[in-house]
Structure 1
């Protein structure tokens, strides 16, 4: 298991994030994956094809995507590890696959907008991180969207790539990130993508399963460490509410965070003018605001810090063992 590489990646990304100048110069691995997914979608997903053929081509597209992500990443890690201090260089590359710092920044921006400029600014800020109709949201709705995004992306954007990088090094992290990007682009039940995106959606659910459970557990333990949070309520909310979430995975971190903070999130929302019914996560207050986003961010920092500390401890134990 790649404890050393993963530890470096977490520390580098947590400290520096992904530099804007680097993004401007070469973009980001997620953008590269998006280019390839768009090309495969355009080339293989023909409207005239029957659903069975489109599903087969979707499986082929995922296979091509994973090969293009994992093989170069694995070769690069091997080459870098052969160099002096190569694990540090590999960890710097791996830091691009984790989003601790950027997640905090985007969610904190919603709280700041609500606090300083009011509801309309909050709607604009939250529209950058959720897909629901921002104009339909009141202060509580904006707050729910921000906290849900924080909880779900703690799992998808941090714990999951960390888990797969730990298991399979750069290849594991890159493969996960490419698949997760594919799910966000084509894994939707729309006429165009229900068949073609089937493989991406189902496989993404599968690879996110361990991380979503770990994320929920990290939040429960973090709640025991953070003043004012309740680990008991977090655990109770997971077992009561998580299975009712539309996603087989997102319910775990969302329910844990809602229960820990004594609030309710999720619930009905609107996408493109269409009302979508969804179960609430947590049975606490529904009248929530920017102060609850701040509390959720503190809980996130405790949970993320706990994960980093565990991986750092594992790395040091391996080094001490020889």
Structure 2
């Protein structure tokens, strides 16, 4: 009796001929997947065993510091930094993105130079530069003709470590957000903007009422990824002595020399916050992409997302 795999059997006609009736469908064996799965399970076992039995990790010590007041204070500062910087980056990035798609060549050139500079210079260098701004300008003042000096302030009085971190990382992150938002704007068919202009709608209304609402569907997913990346990027503020989560852990293990347990505590809280943000990103994507979602049972969606299967009727 002949044997063929399932893909070949499906190509045969369903009616006619005893030859087809004698065929036996044999599922294709994926030996590579079986071997890879077995190796992955073995490797996972050895990794978990190494983490569990090695006393140098100090799991009990890490558990004791998990809710330490200094760690909680640093975690709160990290969250505040992330929210403030991300909000400013979205605002600045939106303005720069609109300038990049503006009809004015001057605005496009300025926005292009902004993105080129702040995406090209490493974030740590920008952070240290703004923190040491007083080396370039000892004070900032405003002088008006026929009025004289309106105000004057020493740079060190307002360029605190926290403000320097917010300013530097906001400008840096805005460069990436500008490209994300510009891509979202470009994803909207140009015919809609042309039709609105033909009806006499101002450019501002075209952006706020037509282009930007439709671009949100393409902007939200990468924005969520940038927010998660920014959360981890805030650990750089340790270099300018901002009391964030990592700096708080460093302050503790510099006294106790319990480096590994404190790093485990930091990693745990970063993973916890990133997990919560990932769930929020999922619901935001569902909210803005609901027009493309299929009406299928919730259990079926969960199974399909977990195993990567295609919904019925989807193109292959």
TM-score normalised to structure 1 length? 0.32
TM-score normalised to structure 2 length? 0.33
